[in-house]
Amino acid sequence: MRQKNGQGRGLFEVGQIGVLALLAIFGTGVGGRAQTPGEVEQDAILRRMDRQAAHYGQLSRQIWEFAEVGYKEERSAALLKEELRAAGFRIDDRVAEIPTAFTATYGTGKPVIGLIGEYDALPGLSQEALPRQAPRAGSSGEAVASRGAGHGCGHNLFGVAAAFAAIVLKEYLVEHKLPGTIRFYGSPAEEGGSGKVFMARAGVFDDCDAVLSWHPADRNGSGTQSTLANINARFRFRGVASHAAASPERGRSALDAVMLMAHAVDLLREHIPSATRIHYIVTRGGDAPNIVPEEAELFLYARHPEMPILDGIWQRILRCAEAGALATETRMETKIIGSVFNLLPNGPLAELYDRHLRRVGGVRYGPEERAFAEQLHQTLPREGLLPLGSEEQIQPMVSGPGPASTDVGDVSWIAPTAEFRAATYVPGTPAHSWQAVACSGMEIGRRGMIVAAKTLALSGIELLTNPGLVREARQDFERRRAGFEYRSRIPADQKPALNYRDR
């Protein structure tokens, strides 16, 4: 358990027993070189975090077991709020009128350092923490239904690591009597619900000097890589029901409209930029084969590295939907569910992460984790598979467009923001897979989570104590943003789609 301030020895022992005493205790660094006072202090912080790791690992496992989908994360958010409130943070609840969005703030004045935490799971990825595919069992011992959710993107680890780091930074402020504000952002519905976009509209990121984020992955690394802008919507078609055999001529099939739209979108793929990604599911296709479907719906995502180009692609997708309705004499309604911007990179913050990732080091498996990893590794496609052992390494910094989307992108157009990766999955594991769920619920995920928490904590401390770095991050942000407009593609009067995971 955490020690309370003023009880026993505090987290930051440097302030109490002195740098010279610590130098005597800890001796020299790599290669016999004497450690600097800053390195001695960092070592003390990292050792203390190791002693607290089991507690935060338990929290991450609880959220893994909750497995709550976007905007439904009541227990997950409550658990994080309880932890942060106990550490002395002030909780502001229901941010942007979202029941599971909150901020937790400690301190006053500048700099304002934000840490993003996510905790939503994905539908249909129920999985035990085993190296073989096995949906989690319910209370009756039977397998959870196919719609059972699972943490296939490791957000149970994401939120806890950020909360752990926020508490470490708070204790650093107290111990060193520094000005500054630490703010944790409890961010729901990242997976398609665009929770941070609505939080941004509420202005909660406006005063940040830097926003720190990370993401679970199968490797450790930082860089100035961007992400894909994303627009997603539900296309609902309404026709006329009729007996499919006795009077089909009286019916107008909404399902035919969905199928025509989907076919038109598939043909469109050849005539749009190759970096575009389009994917969809049919969420409703009718009620019975012998009834002409009166209602049908297609849920579609479109992505591209640049939002202005995606805007043009989206207009063509809308015409595909209109064509389906026109050809089938049905009516079509479109509802934007979410939209996120591509991430605006930040060079100084990316280099900050890289420096501290290398200070912390990669993930090391014990014998049980090694055996688990070897068995799970055999279930992965062999093409381009990262070797076991790469989880111990810090990869070179990367740049350019990345392969996925995140609503952290919208935050990055409001305040200097950067994200790094930590190896919470067995090397080669894709996100949004049963293998990722399995890793996120056991020690492999938790070890990577502690690497992330330590990196966030050391990076935040440097920002708190180095005003020049804060200025550099701001200057890089202003340079990259110059000439571009940030405007969410979600209609200004639209409320969060709190039931977007319902069918």
Burial class (CB in 10 A: 0-12, 13-18, 19+), 281: exposed
Confidence of residue 255 (pLDDT cuts 50, 70, 90): very high
Condensed to tens digits (0 to 9), the pLDDT of residues 359-369 reads: 999 999 999 99
Mean pLDDT for 277-302 is: 97
pLDDT digits (tens, 9 = 90+) for 216-250: 999 999 999 999 999 999 999 999 999 999 999 99
Residue 139 has pLDDT above 50, yes or no: no
pLDDT value for 37: 77
Rounded to the nearest angstrom, the gap between the alpha carbon of residue 143 and the centroid of all alpha carbons in its chain is: 27
pLDDT of residue 32: 58
State both tokens at 277.
Answer: 């990604």
User: How far is Cα 80 from Cα 83, in angstroms, rounded to an integer?
Assistant: 5
* Amino acid, res. 57: G
In degrees and rounded to multiples of 5, residue 424 shows phi and psi of -95, -10
The arithmetic mean of pLDDT across residues 281-306, rounded, is 97
Q: 110 near 209, Cβ under 8 Å?
A: yes
Determine the straight-line distance between the first and last CA of the chain, rounded to whole angstroms. 42
CB hemisphere CA count around 333 (13 angstroms): 8
Closest Cα to residue 56, out of 211, 146, 141, 163?
163
pLDDT at 502: 86
Report the half-sphere exposure of 449 (CA within 13 A, side-chain side). Answer: 32
Please give the torsion angle defined by the CA atoms of residues 43, 46, 48 and 49, in that order, rounded to the nearest 10 degrees.
Answer: 180
pLDDT of residue 34: 78
User: What is the distance between the alpha carbons of residues 22 and 45, in angstroms, rounded to a whole number?
Assistant: 12
The backbone torsions φ and ψ at residue 183, rounded to the nearest 5 degrees and listed phi first, read: -135, 120
Across 399-415, average pLDDT: 95
Q: 443-488, pLDDT tens digit by residue?
A: 999 999 999 999 999 999 999 999 999 999 999 999 999 999 899 9
Q: What is the pLDDT of residue 143?
A: 46
pLDDT in tens, 176-210: 999 999 999 999 999 999 999 999 999 999 999 99
CA dihedral 472, 474, 480, 482 (to 10 degrees): -130
Give the number of C-alpha atoms closer than 13 A to the C-alpha of residue 98, restricted to the C-beta side: 33
Q: Is 89 helix (H, G, I), strand (E, B) or coil?
A: coil
198 Cβ contact list (under 8 Å, min separation 6): 96, 97, 98, 101, 490, 495, 496
What does pLDDT average to over the chain?
Answer: 92
* Per-residue pLDDT at 138: 61
Kind plus residue range of the DSSP H or E element containing 63: helix 37-66
How far apart CA 85 and CA 70 sit, in angstroms, is: 23
Confidence band of 38 (pLDDT split at 50, 70, 90): confident
pLDDT digits (tens, 9 = 90+) for 88-101: 999 999 999 999 99
What tokens were used for 503?
């069918």
Within 10 A of 497 (CB to CB), how many other CB atoms are there? 21
Domains of the chain: 55-226+342-481 (3.40.630.10), 229-337 (3.30.70.360)
- Its pTM stands at 0.89
**Are 140 and 131 a contacting pair, CB within 8 Å?**
no
pLDDT for res 137: 76
Residues 329-337 have a mean pLDDT of 97
pLDDT the model gives residue 15: 40
- Which phi and psi angles does 263 have, rounded to 5°? -65, -40
Question: What average pLDDT does range 308-335 have in this prediction?
Answer: 98
Residue with tokens 């610590």: 22
Output the pLDDT for position 385: 85
pLDDT, one tens digit per residue, over 4-36 is 333 333 444 334 334 334 433 344 454 556 788
Share above pLDDT 90 across residues of the chain, in percent, rounded to a whole number? 87
Q: What is the mean pLDDT of residues 113-130?
A: 97
How many angstroms separate the CA atoms of 388 and 377, rounded?
A: 8
Q: List the single range of 38-42, 73-77, 134-138, 144-148 with lowest mean pLDDT.
A: 144-148
Sign of CA dihedral 235, 236, 238, 239: positive
What are the CA-CA distances from residue 387 to residues 162, 250, 431 (Å)?
28, 60, 17
What is the Cα–Cα distance from 203 to 104, expressed in whole angstroms?
15
